[in-house]
Amino acid sequence: MEEREIDANQSFELINKMVNQAQNKLTENGFLLLFWGWLVFITALVFYCLISAESSYASLAWVTMPFGGIFTAVYVMKKNKTEKVKSFSNDYVGYVSIAFTISMFIVLTQTNKLQLNCYPIIILLYAIMTFIIGGIIRFKPLIICALVSFVLAFAAFYFEFKVQILLIALSVLVSYILPGHLLMRKFKSQSNV
């Protein structure tokens, strides 16, 4: 009887360890959250400064986004080649990321029609993606930070364009950068165990 209890406990520990490893692989140690968070944060602030200076080249600040997309695609392809075990969670996050990218493309190509509603919708997309991924990987700080971005998306509809730019920066700070650092810390502490 005791032998079975030990086997059950060991089995539970093994399953728990596998779930944690899947979560770590899934989140890429928080790297992609941090990469995109800092890229968008810095770009939004540069864009804000250029808009404030009434520069005719302000929109060129966003040219960093396609390069970020190329970097991310190469990074993910390399990671997928070296990944030995694939999990359903990784597949789900992949689908969420694809849906987010397509949605973002649609919003950005329709900015003329959306006009001042473009940035609140972008913040809303950030909130939706991070909320869903937080649920998939069961990481409460990501879910909580996504809820803050939902509030920012709602509020952004009531502010002028320049303030909306700052709200985008705040949104990625809250929903990407902060949870990205928390995920990285969690990964490092689990790796040292």
pLDDT of res. 87? 63
Give the distance, in angstroms, between the CA of residue 45 and the centroid of all CA atoms in the same chain. Answer: 18
**Residues whose CB falls within 8 Å of the CB of residue 63, separated by 6 or more in sequence, listed in order:** none
Q: What integer pLDDT is reported at residue 8 of this predicted model?
A: 56
Backbone angles phi, psi at 91, to 5 degrees: -60, -45
> How do residues 89-98 score in pLDDT, each as one tens digit?
677 888 888 8
Complete DSSP assignment for 114-142:
HGGGHHHHHHHHHHHHHHHHHHHHT-HHH
**Mean pLDDT of each 10-residue bin along the chain, 193 residues long:** 53 50 54 93 96 93 91 86 67 85 89 87 95 90 95 96 95 94 82 61
CA dihedral 161, 164, 169, 175 (to 10 degrees): -150
Q: Which residue has the tokens 């790796």?
A: 191
Beta strands in 106-183 (DSSP E): none
pLDDT (tens digit, 9 = 90+) per residue, 158-174?
A: 999 999 999 999 999 99
Domain that holds residue 27: 2-191
Domain count within the chain: 1
**Predicted local distance difference test score (pLDDT) of residue 19:** 47
What is the reported pLDDT for 26? 44
121 Cβ contact partners less than 8 Å away, ≥ 6 residues apart = 107, 114, 153
